[in-house]
């Protein structure tokens, strides 16, 4: 009973509320409402033009560059540069003596690889098959170097096998120099001291060695010999004194050979002939003073036919001589 009353009470109150609302609007009838202008309903459609420019999809390039394409490996340039051999020099030894062919000899290459005489397959080696250490003479040895690319280079040296020990001759030369060379001497003064020692200290005899070491031995120990002994003794002393010198020979020999020296004291090459000349065949200057630092022109202008004829040489074989 209570529930039914409550439901009907709610309906009554709702109906009463509607009536009151209608009255508040002025009690207008449906006829009055239709007489007034109905409100215009505007339908707002979404704009067809976007308010912001959309981001376009990426456009593919005409020629895409793949990121996984490997860079081509350049073709290496062939190595055609041969190695360079250094430290090769002439060797001197006594008959049946011992000698090192590889001392101070090295090789280098543009590739940076190392070279050695050792191992089963050395890339640096020397051919000494032509040397006979039991017989005096001058022999040739050839050095070879081969790089990893197969390039080969060679270098040659002479091996002098003498009956006399080279060390003995060099030591004897040092003893002589210690007596005739003084501190403070100029190069020319040193050369003149050596010239006088040989020119005045060695007697001319028909004797020479089989090589310059043996000939120098005769000059330093026996103080006698022919032009070969004079020239060899001067050569050893000049070399040990640090003076540039060369051996020069008469050409053509015509069964009458002659040998002497050239020296360079810093002003060019000059003739340095320490040989003692016979008074009957040489001019006074050559006989008394010796041919010390003579120019070629002075030799050619000598009043002695012997001096002129004994100093004819092939200029193409030597550096320019004054």
What pLDDT sits at residue 74? 81
Kindly tell me the sign of the dihedral angle through the C-alpha atoms of 288, 291, 297, 302. positive
pLDDT attached to residue 40: 55
Nearest in space to 239 (alpha carbons), one of 104, 94, 138, 89: 89
- Tens of pLDDT, residue by residue over 179-219, are 999 999 999 999 999 999 999 999 999 999 999 999 999 99
Q: 32-62: string of b/e by CB count within 10 Å (b at 16+)?
A: eeeeeeeeeeeeeeeeeeeeeeeeeeeeeee
Name the 3-class secondary structure at 63: coil
Q: What residues does each domain of the chain span?
A: 84-162, 166-317
Give the CATH H-level superfamily of domain 84-162: Immunoglobulins (2.60.40.10)
Contact of 216 with 198, CB cutoff 8 Å: no
Contact criterion met (CB below 8 Å) for 202 and 219: yes
The phi and psi torsions of 203 (rounded to 5 degrees) equal -90, 145
Give the tokens for residue 317.
């074989």
Residue ranges in the chain modelled with pLDDT below 70? 1-68
| Level-2 CATH architecture, domain 166-317 | Roll (3.10)
What pTM was estimated for this model as a whole? 0.72
Task: Specify the pLDDT at position 166.
Answer: 97
pLDDT at 57: 54
How many other C-beta atoms can be found within 10 angstroms of the C-beta atom of residue 294?
A: 24
Establish whether domains 84-162 and 166-317 are of one fold: no
Tokens standing for residue 254: 């015509």
């Amino acid at each position: 009973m209570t529930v039914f009353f409550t439901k009907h009470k709610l309906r009554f109150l709702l109906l009463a509320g509607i009536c009151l609302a209608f009255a508040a609007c002025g009690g207008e009838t449906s006829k009055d409402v239709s007489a007034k202008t109905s409100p215009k309903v505007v339908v707002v459609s979404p704009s067809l033009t976007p308010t912001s420019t959309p981001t376009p999809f990426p456009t593919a390039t005409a020629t895409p560059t793949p990121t996984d394409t490997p860079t081509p490996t350049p073709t290496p340039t062939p190595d055609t540069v041969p190695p360079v051999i250094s430290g090769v020099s002439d060797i001197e030894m006594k008959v049946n003596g011992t000698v090192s062919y590889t001392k101070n000899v090295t090789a280098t290459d543009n590739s940076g690889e190392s070279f050695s005489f050792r191992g089963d397959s050395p890339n640096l080696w020397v051919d000494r098959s032509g040397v006979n250490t039991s017989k005096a003479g001058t022999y040739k040895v050839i050095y070879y170097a081969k790089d990893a690319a197969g390039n080969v280079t060679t270098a040659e040296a002479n091996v002098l096998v003498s009956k006399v020990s080279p060390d003995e001759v060099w030591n004897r030369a040092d003893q002589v120099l210690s007596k005739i060379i003084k501190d403070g001497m100029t190069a020319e003064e040193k050369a003149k001291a050596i010239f006088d020692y040989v020119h005045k200290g060695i007697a001319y005899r028909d004797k020479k060695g089989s090589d310059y070491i043996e000939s120098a031995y005769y000059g330093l120990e026996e103080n006698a010999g022919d032009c070969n002994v004079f020239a060899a003794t001067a050569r050893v002393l000049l070399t040990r004194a640090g003076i540039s010198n060369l051996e020069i020979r008469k050409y053509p020999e015509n069964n009458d050979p002659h040998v002497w020296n050239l020296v360079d004291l810093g002003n060019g090459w000059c003739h340095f002939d320490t040989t003692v000349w016979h008074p009957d065949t040489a001019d006074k200057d050559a006989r008394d003073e010796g041919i010390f630092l003579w120019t070629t022109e002075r030799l050619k202008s000598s009043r002695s036919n012997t001096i002129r004829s004994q100093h004819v040489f092939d200029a193409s074989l030597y550096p320019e001589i004054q």
